[in-house]
Structure 1
Amino acid sequence: MTERTTIGSWFARLPRWLRAVIGLASVALGIAIVFRPTTSLGLLAILIGLGLILSGVLELVGGGDGDDDERTPPWRIVTAVLWIVGGAFVLFFPGLTVRMVALVVAIALIVNGVLSVISAFRRGRTLDARVAAALLGVAGVAFGLLALLWPDITLLVVAVVFGARLIVVGLLELWRAIRGTTRTRERGAPSTLGRWAKTIAAVVALLLAIAAGSVSASLRGGTPVVDDFYAAPRDVPDEPGKLIRAESFTRGVPDNATAWRILYTTTGEDGEPAVASGLVVVPKSGDGDYPVIDWTHGTTGFAQPCAPSLLEEPFESGALFLLPEIIDNGWALVATDYIGLGTEGPHPYLIGASTAYAALDARRAASDLDDARLGDQTVVWGHSQGGGAALWTGALADSYAPDVELAGVAALAPASNLPGLMENLPEVTGGSLFASFVVGAYTAIYPDVTYREYVRPGAEVTVREMADRCLAEPGAAVSVLSLLGLSRDPEIFSEDPTTGPFGDRLTENIPPATISAPLLLGQGAADQLVVPPAQDAFVADYCDAGQQVDYRLYAGRDHVPLVEPDSPLVPDLVEWTTARLAGEPVEPGCTRTER
């Protein structure tokens, strides 16, 4: 016999108790990986590294292919070596990124799968061994491809299926050890159940692969598709606020309203002409001259497909639950998507000036839509990201769009104190997902803010991939779980984002206290995302700067519930808006009301 055959035979003749221990270890390790897929990247890498090595040992022991041959086939020796080398690589380089861990696992699974399929055609194998080898091989290739296609969620998809593989193979080896079945055939042919147990396990593995692929396809299928409507014309007009095109829109629109989606010109962060999209909704009844609610929406994502006008719920996705109230009051809605959502980006997420430009220019462009019959009066409403945008819109209206007759600004749970918001995100469930949007925007727009300086190398791939998913799409749920795991490592940042160039840029994007229109600021007292202490500090700075603020806190209201239809904010907001459109004066200075 050759040396490699002797080595393989030696492993195959290990004592039954030792083989049982190896099988139990495989099962235990597999369970740990399956039930802890969102553990820290460092710990998960150790578990996967140990699992790869144990997979190699199981190949040599005999749990990998189901033959009862006395000799270990050369392909199994090669596979075992690959498993062990891959595991050692993961263990000895603990700083590996998610992408590298995915790559190692993927290569191991694909190579093992291909060799397993090839071995199915080897002479002298029984039918059950052929079927088992082929099915396990196909399942392995499928799992490996999943690792390559979705590297950022390898922690969930690949870790779970790899852990499941360890459990299946470990149980088979444990069964062989308990039944005393060896490859030397010293005790005769194995039972029918023993012969087909591997095949049954292979079928289960293949079904798992199919299920994982189906889940992955459905998650990916939830991403909205950007159509030709959002394409900029070859020559974009230099003048901002000009309507480029409009078409009828019906999704999510009340029966008593008519709507259009629009494409219009605006100004980018660099001061150059840009294109943005949005929605216009007006009552079906009435003679026109409708006052306008200029809505700046809450977070929907950072990527181009995340425009509210593209989403299944175009209004509620951005936290506008009050469209029926707007229409019933005889008002019209103009709702920008912002630059980079729908149109080409990057989207200036939590970046003030260009977001305000998009809101003001949407209002201007909507006036060019003759069928909308809009009036001159405008009140800005915004929530969360849009609340900060509403403050910026009010702050820049006089200088950028003096032709817009701004009667008031209502900022609801606004992202105003940006350093305070970033400090709080690690305490928020799924906060890292919002952080990925901020990092994506600030690194894309500001050259002095980089992933290299602020994001952990092991988290960079995940952060980049997460920033490409919309908040409302199915894949975002997986994103949150992945980022929850990474945040225990302990977080996605290697440096505090409120310091250095990143911190300077965040401070630059705090809305200035230059709002000449009446200002209402609503805040939930139980808000877990935009926390009241940070908002209190922002309002105090506004008051010190001489800005008029009507500051109202609502007991028991969290971030989104603050603007839901049953919130006590709603009648207050409608009453306050009605008063602004009627030209009623507001109290000067700062007032604070707890409701």
Structure 2
Amino acid sequence: MRIPVAVTRRMPRWLRVVVATLTLVLGVVVVIRPTTSLDLLAWLIGAGLVLAGLLQLVERPGFDAETDRPSVWRVAGAIVWLVGGVLVLALPGLTVRLVAVVVGVGLLINGVLSVVSGLRRSATLDARIAGISFGIAELVFGVLALAWPDITLLIVAVVFGARLIMGGALELWSVARGEPRAAFRPKTAPGPVRRWTRTVAAVVALALAVGAAVVSGSVHGASPVVDSFYAAPRDVPAQPGRLIRAEPFTRDVPANARGWRILYTTERGDGSAAVASGLVVVPKDGSGPWPVIDWAHGTTGFAQNCAPSLAKHPFESGALFSLDKVVDSGWALVATDYIGLGTAGPHPYLIGPDTAHAVLDAARAAPQLAVAHLGAHNVVWGHSQGGGAALWTGATAKRYAPELEIDGVAALAPASNLPALVDHLPSVTGGSVFASYVAAAYTAIYSDVSFRAYIRPGAQVTVREMSKRCLAEPGVLVSVLHALALTRDPVIFSKDPNTGPLGKRIAQNVPPAGIGAPLLIAQGAADQLVIPSAQSAYVDGLCAAGQQVDYRTYAGLDHVPLVEAGSPAIPDLIAWTHDRFDGVPVAPGCTRRAE
């Protein structure tokens, strides 16, 4: 059967070539560099939505053979796409997040309409299966679009880019073959092969949607959940360093040790009261009092559920791979989660005084857990973010907690030279994840630092979503995907973060000299994140200020391998810490050793 057509209009050949070529080229650009195009994504999606609506109107499977007109459901779906496209094009200032919402809502509405269309009594079996399958797939993808706005943007960019490439290529092929192009063209009724091919495609789309939903559910479900232990009671003590509550903790605690998680009071850098959580581990054999290692953990994230005490592997998540050696040495461990991880935020990521207070107040509060039998002597350890926190702890201790006995400070690959670190992040694979934590923390804590002023518009949704994911949870794979995509254009900042209010605040949080306890700084010579030259420049500044420091570099070791169990830095750290607890004097001034 042939469907009669009332209107046939030909487009000039030269115009078809120009439009097809531009479409093809634009599609290639979007697919190759989707994140670069995020700033223009609203325009691309708007045009794509309009095109999708027009194609849905003229597509043959959408026609009702009895009336020679497009089915009412297909017309309704086409109108949804057209309205969405016009909305996006009419509002060029629409945020990228809202563009994702438009796409998600459009998918949901079209999904409902497709399911309803498939349930028509007059529909053939293949049309029923195709309509219902496509509809459910659209519903699932619509929900995922709203649940994962940042990854949706990347996928939408690639999908629309692919659509543009195919459309442009097909049009050029059509011109080359000399075929006329019409707004509406006569078409023969589809045969069984074509009809069932569409049905199979619909079922495949449904299977992909279900698979995506299962993966999404497992990723979301695997994220740590903050429980009631971390909630501050109404009668919080006013004094920092007071133990609020404690309960036994066994996850990844060595067999020859006992553990507890604690909640305690602390104080932000501006003097406002806060609550933090942490872990305490002591040897099981013996009665103490145990010398204490005050551990400042490496980066785990910015969101509240990123506390190491909530993670599946609480000690390794913050890069403490040598807890067994701590216990075997007859020492206790007091490990803060910092403010805003576990407890109410925001978390002061790479903000010195706040994290130092959390470390010191954990050392104050933990001895109030009488059953742990903690001693009076402390050595502070920290890695990466925690290395910077350890340096700040040493510089702050005498003023903030003069009653504590701090026998030494060991900073392992510390985040010390913050301007150099932030400047280097665009060169690091995955550096945008750490940059998102910096942006989230500094804009949340400092009123003079604006997120919109420093993060380029096309990357704002991506950066905000990255900052919500913990490094130890499966959802960070989405952030890694974006980080890999951003390697072609890794700059998420619209202007140099080391300038203006943000630059001032970053410089303000460089750990100062004036650490009264013996200081050890260890650095991997092959570190790709905290680069050795930046660390050396920081140490030069300490030495010039008269700070005693034992600076050791380790050939061939990257950022995390420096603190893994097989690293030569670990026995050096253990031996150095034994000397601190034993009161062995350190050499004055600056010493440098390459191990």
Maintained 8 Å contact 1:66/1:129:
no
Change (3 A) 1:252 1:156: farther
Q: Secondary structure at the match of 1:258?
A: strand
Q: Give 1:145's match in structure 2, choosing from 140, 143, 146.
A: 143
Q: Secondary structure at the match of 1:275?
A: strand
Structure 2: how far apart are the matches of 1:55 and 1:537? Answer: 56
Maintained 8 Å contact 2:62/2:71:
no
Change (3 A) 1:229 1:592: same
- Residue of structure 1 equivalent to 2:58: 61
Residue by residue over 1:487-525, the C-alpha shift from the partner in whole angstroms, topping out at 9 and shown as x without a partner, is 645521112111111011111111110101000000111
Structure 1: how far apart are the matches of 2:569 and 2:401? Answer: 29
Match status 1:263 vs 2:263 = yes
- Residue of structure 2 equivalent to 1:568: 568
Structure 1 range deviating more: 436-445 or 71-80: 71-80
Change (3 A) 1:28 1:59: farther
Structure 2: how far apart are the matches of 1:502 and 1:336? Answer: 27
Change (3 A) 1:29 1:442: closer
TM-score by length of 1: 0.88
- Residue of structure 2 equivalent to 1:525: 525
Shift of 1:48: 4.4
Change (3 A) 1:171 1:134: farther
What are the equivalent positions in structure 2 for 1:192-231 lying under 5 Å apart? 192-231=192-231
Structure 2: how far apart are the matches of 1:25 and 1:116? Answer: 32
Q: Give the partner amino acid of 2:572.
A: D
Q: Secondary structure at the match of 1:237?
A: coil
Shift of 1:291: 0.8
Residue by residue over 1:210-263, the C-alpha shift from the partner in whole angstroms, topping out at 9 and shown as x without a partner, is 112222212211221111111111021122211111110000111011100011
Residue by residue over 1:35-76, the C-alpha shift from the partner in whole angstroms, topping out at 9 and shown as x without a partner, is 876664247666645543442343233256476573223543
Maintained 8 Å contact 2:30/2:37:
no
- Residue of structure 2 equivalent to 1:117: 115
Aligned residues: 582
Q: Give 1:72's match in structure 2, choosing from 66, 70, 80.
A: 70
Q: Secondary structure at the match of 2:293?
A: strand
Q: Give the partner amino acid of 2:341.
A: L
What are the equivalent positions in structure 2 for 1:278-357 lying under 5 Å apart? 278-357=278-357
Q: Secondary structure at the match of 1:409?
A: strand
Q: Secondary structure at the match of 2:69?
A: coil
Structure 2: how far apart are the matches of 1:26 and 1:412? Answer: 52
Shift of 1:197: 1.6
Structure 1: how far apart are the matches of 2:161 and 2:564? Answer: 42
Structure 2: how far apart are the matches of 1:448 and 1:85? Answer: 40
Change (3 A) 1:194 1:546: same
Structure 1 range deviating more: 51-60 or 138-147: 51-60
Shift of 1:335: 0.3
Q: Give the partner amino acid of 1:541.
A: G
Q: Secondary structure at the match of 2:215?
A: helix
Match status 1:101 vs 2:96 = no
Structure 1: how far apart are the matches of 2:560 and 2:25? Answer: 42
Change (3 A) 1:265 1:186: closer
Maintained 8 Å contact 2:379/2:407:
yes
Maintained 8 Å contact 1:266/1:274:
yes
Q: Give the partner amino acid of 1:407.
A: D
What are the equivalent positions in structure 2 for 1:126-525 lying under 5 Å apart? 126-156=124-154, 158=156, 190-486=190-486, 488-489=488-489, 491-525=491-525
Maintained 8 Å contact 2:412/2:522:
yes
Gaps of 5+ in 2: 172-176, 178-183
Structure 1: how far apart are the matches of 2:581 and 2:35? Answer: 51
Structure 1: how far apart are the matches of 2:212 and 2:168? Answer: 21
Q: Secondary structure at the match of 1:379?
A: strand
Residue by residue over 1:448-492, the C-alpha shift from the partner in whole angstroms, topping out at 9 and shown as x without a partner, is 001121111222222222211111111111012224435645521
Gaps of 5+ in 1: none
Structure 1: how far apart are the matches of 2:472 and 2:553? Answer: 28
Q: Give the partner amino acid of 1:55.
A: A
Structure 2: how far apart are the matches of 1:65 and 1:322? Answer: 65
Maintained 8 Å contact 1:116/1:136:
yes
Maintained 8 Å contact 1:40/1:487:
no
Shift of 1:402: 1.3
Shift of 1:356: 0.7
Q: Secondary structure at the match of 1:364?
A: helix
Q: Secondary structure at the match of 2:277?
A: strand
Structure 2: how far apart are the matches of 1:191 and 1:273? Answer: 73
Maintained 8 Å contact 1:155/1:482:
no
Shift of 1:108: 3.0
TM-score by length of 2: 0.88
